[in-house]
Amino acid sequence: MTIVKWVTGLDHTKNPPKLLYPAFGEKLVGRPHDELHRAWQEAEDIVKACIRRNGFKFSGEYHQYGECGMPMFDDGSVLFCSWRHWGSIMAEAWDPDGAKGLDYMDFYMSGFVANDEIVVPKHETDFV
């Protein structure tokens, strides 16, 4: 599983992609919980590594509504999560051992990340 591009959340209201994680109460039929958990954990680890490599730093709000805020993988799935869960992903990416005391509250909402610290993909494929 690899990230192929970062996509815009609002685009998904008209043509929803395959979501890696159920959103808004969506039920996954035929996928055992353990399989879903493994896929989600693998995706999170890949996203955290990409965040660190590229210096990305943005809120859960931007993840859902900003341009190029959602990672899309080579199987066509998109990692989509709540603002708070995205905040947790960012906090774990930037403070994996908890030494800095970062948590989801530092990243979940725009305004919590200082404007001069925000780093986002400039276009869909602006990452390594």
Instruction: Round to the nearest angstrom and report the end-to-end CA distance of the chain.
Output: 15
What pLDDT is attached to residue 11? 58
The model's pTM is: 0.82
Q: How confident is the model at residue 14 (pLDDT cuts 50, 70, 90)?
A: low
The span from the CA of 111 to the CA of 98, in Å, is 22
**pLDDT tens sequence across 41-59:** 888 999 999 999 999 999 9
CA distances from 93 to 30, 48, 65, 85 (A): 31, 5, 21, 12
The span from the CA of 1 to the CA of 79, in Å, is 12
The span from the CA of 59 to the CA of 64, in Å, is 9
Q: Which structure tokens are listed for 110?
A: 């725009």
The span from the CA of 47 to the CA of 49, in Å, is 5
Average pLDDT over residues 3-26: 65
The span from the CA of 93 to the CA of 53, in Å, is 10
